[in-house]
Amino acid sequence: MTANRRHLVDRLPQVRGAYRVQAPLGDATWFRVGGSAEVLFKPADAADLCTFLAGRPADVPVTVLGATSNLLIRDGGIPGVVIRLGRPFAGIEIRGAELRAGAAALDGSVAQAACDAAIRGFEFLAGIPGTIGGALRMNAGAYGAETSQLLVSAQAVSPDGTLHTLKAAEMGFSYRRCGVPTDWIFVSARLCGEPGDPAEIAARIAAIKTERQSTQPVRSRTGGSTFTNPPGAKAWELIERAGCRGMRIGGAVVSEQHCNFLINEGGASAADIERLGEEVRRRVQEVTGVTLEWEIRRIGIAANQEVKP
């Protein structure tokens, strides 16, 4: 930690939530790799988050973590403040065919809550291992549906600590992206489905879970789909054509079951996983002429990399 950051936590505003210095993050990620947060902040509620953002020093970087299911934290950790939205942001409320979910609510929990309330349209979320905040940020989708089709409005906090309500049309959704600035933090969403038959909804959720377990390495240390599908193509097919199935670097390997997944077989570093992904990109480009784009979010600094003031 450099000299001007030695007492970072003492420069931060008073909050009702909790600060933790040099908090390990690797075990919280699905890959089970990565360094520590210089300071980890868990806000008590949305108002507490607004207070923090309004009062933080302008030179302090902020990073937001969700379920970490589609994330690679580099081995040197994350400088500045890492924000993790916890239980106060995980509530789910239902009114008619509309559902309000906190940004930390798990996608699978939202799908099950909708099923219990006989609301259809949310089933695809059962196949996405993330949170509603991440679903908003990435316009998460699977099995022919995506988040943008359900959204009524979302609440997000801008870097100055202002809470905004955004209608679906203001989100700027596209494939696996939204147009809301990346430094805005989603805190909740209003989503709407349609009345449905609970038995049919439950059967669809069960089928999605079964298909996911049979086609993806869900019990492995992985980060989900590594690369987005290029227009008119499937990433896994391009990776297969490039001969990358089963390729490895250190403890990191391209999944034999689904080659758009990278796996930590044990002992891999974040650097191993990232290097493997870049080698896959290189080979796919060489063989097919297509440049794959990372879907996994890669954050933090490499091991032994100096944090610049």
* DSSP code, position 174: B
Helix axes 107-116, 198-215, angle to 10 degrees: 150
Angle at 126 between CA 252 and CA 139, to 5 degrees: 75
Spatial separation of the C-alpha atoms in residues 241 and 279, rounded to whole Å: 14
| Structural element, H or E, at residue 40 | strand 36-42
The b-or-e profile of 249-287 (16+ CB within 10 A means b, else e) is bebbbbbeebbbbbbbeeebbbbbbbebbebbbebbeee
By annotation, the residues acting in catalysis are 176, 225, 295
Number of CB atoms found within 10 A of residue 32's CB: 14
Residue with tokens 């008119």: 232
Spatial separation of the C-alpha atoms in residues 72 and 8, rounded to whole Å: 24
Handedness of CA 159, 136, 9, 50 (dihedral sign): positive
